[in-house]
Amino acid sequence: MKPRFTFVLVAAALALAGSAQAAPAEDYIAANKCGKCHTEKTTKKGPSFASLAAKYKGDAGATAKLLNTLKTGGSVDHDKATGSDADLQAVITFILASK
Ligand code: HEC
């Protein structure tokens, strides 16, 4: 029984790690209530992620700009986002890849 039990534990750990890796940006967006104002495709209080992706398409500085906006409020006086730069960059990458 023991080896089998170990196998189950390892499988569970891998499943957890896998889900955390699959969607860190989506987890962040859910945890930080970005969805109150944004959805992927439709304009709510804020623009849809797909429309932001279209707006910043081809803009090599987009990630830096949006990181600044999320951290400081930027020129649009956005709600300040919490989290590490790495978290925010993952979110921005996710947003800019939206269609
Ligand atoms: C209270 C509503 C609200 C919440 C909550 C909110 N946003 Fe926004 N967001 C807006 C509005 C409104 C705009 C459009 C601002 C403008 O362009 O004038 C915007 C714009 C943006 C932009 C584009 C900024 C730019 O410079 O073009 C990004 C990226 C963004 N939001 C990401 C996020 C993320 C990530 C979260 C969660 C941490 C979030 N927003 C939470 C309302 C919100």
Q: What is the pTM of this model?
A: 0.83
Which range of residues forms the domain containing residue 81?
Answer: 23-96
Does residue 59 lie within any of the structural domains? Answer: yes
Cβ-contact 34, 26 below 8 angstroms: no
Structural domain tally of the chain? 1
Pocket test for ligand 1, best of 26, 33, 36, 37 (most atoms within 8 A of CB): 37
Does residue 7 lie within any of the structural domains? Answer: no
Does residue 18 lie within any of the structural domains? Answer: no
Question: By alpha-carbon position, which residue is closest to atom 13 of ligand 1?
Answer: 46
Cβ of 94 closer than 6 Å to ligand 1, yes or no, is no
* CA–CA distances in Å: residue 53 to residues 20, 22, 95, 99: 24, 20, 6, 7
Does residue 1 lie within any of the structural domains? Answer: no
Helix (H, G, I), strand (E, B) or coil at 48: coil
Does residue 64 lie within any of the structural domains? Answer: yes
| Nearest CA-CA partner of 25 in 3, 1, 53 | 53
Cβ of 51 closer than 6 Å to ligand 1, yes or no, is no
Residues with pLDDT less than 50, the chain:
14, 18-20, 22
Does residue 6 lie within any of the structural domains? Answer: no
pLDDT of residue 75: 93
Does residue 16 lie within any of the structural domains? Answer: no
pLDDT of residue 9: 52
Q: What is the dihedral of CA 86, 91, 94, 96, to 10 degrees?
A: -100
